[in-house]
Structure 1
């Protein structure tokens, strides 16, 4: 029953099947290969693993950031505030005008009806209090009617406050 011809046919069938599978794989690889398969990736997701050996950067205090702030960079950030506030003295919008807001008493704009939540913020809008308020308005003044998520970057906040101070002079 198992003579050499049967064994030869079985081995030939096995080798033929392997050959067909190898050719089919090669054809599929060529058929479905992207045109730019050798190109560099379009974007790389930073997982932070490369920065583990790098020394941590020293964070600057807000006073140092404010001293080095660029009012020109703050003018681009002003567009976020412009929808509700004005830099012209006496022109209130949805929010009070911000002309001279740096070192002005909190809640001191005549003719604007404040929500009353700013009582917890302090007495004067110092650059530090303004920065904290711009970072997260609801954490500095819980219950404020200002509907703003906040500005995460301390450098952006310093630039914006420097811009408001420069435009108020």
Structure 2
């Protein structure tokens, strides 16, 4: 009689489990082809703040007010690949970079994207390049993520300009 009670309890538990599974599947249908929720994610490069447009920055005024001493501290991130003594490293040297034509350092092997970019390294171009190099020059070999803070970028540009004097 005891074995019959145990088998009956086991079969009854299985029946309850199967019924719970069936009704839970009806309530929480996870196998439907319909999409229940859509989450809009801003595209890469759309900027911070949920895809809102970034306000236009007066680069000239920001660079004019920048602190070269602070830029020297931020430049330490750049110094891992770039030198300022006229010799190339992983990246080209950045001595006299402001005003220099893009991709013009002799003896450095530039990517096709950088060679074909054209123009000069004006403070405005450097400002936008330093924000996200791969967005400003598609195809660049420079894997640096960029400097998101406008003040940091302006300080680095002011530091590079101060080296030219």
Distance 1:106 1:167 in 2: 18
Residue-by-residue CA offset, 1:51-80 (whole Å, 9 max, x unaligned): xxxxxxx97511110111110110100110
Match of 2:95 in 1: 99
Contact 1:84 1:95 in 2 (8 A): yes
Question: Which ranges in structure 2 are unaligned for 5 or more consecutive residues?
Answer: 1-54
Q: Secondary structure at the match of 1:78?
A: helix
Q: Secondary structure at the match of 1:82?
A: coil
Q: Does 1:109 align with 2:112?
A: no
Match of 2:132 in 1: 136
Residue-by-residue CA offset, 1:90-134 (whole Å, 9 max, x unaligned): x00000000000000111100000012124544100000001110
Distance 2:134 2:83 in 1: 21
RMSD of aligned Cα (Å): 1.6
Contact 1:104 1:125 in 2 (8 A): yes
Match of 1:67 in 2: 64
Residue-by-residue CA offset, 1:21-40 (whole Å, 9 max, x unaligned): xxxxxxxxxxxxxxxxxxxx
How many Å apart are 1:143 and its aligned residue? 1.2
From 142, 145, 152, the equivalent of 1:149 is 145
Match of 2:119 in 1: 123
Q: Does 1:84 align with 2:76?
A: no
Distance 1:131 1:155 in 2: 10
How many Å apart are 1:168 and its aligned residue? 2.6
Distance 1:92 1:118 in 2: 16
Question: Which ranges in structure 1 are unaligned for 5 or more consecutive residues?
Answer: 1-57
Give the count of matched residue pairs: 111
Distance 1:156 1:122 in 2: 25
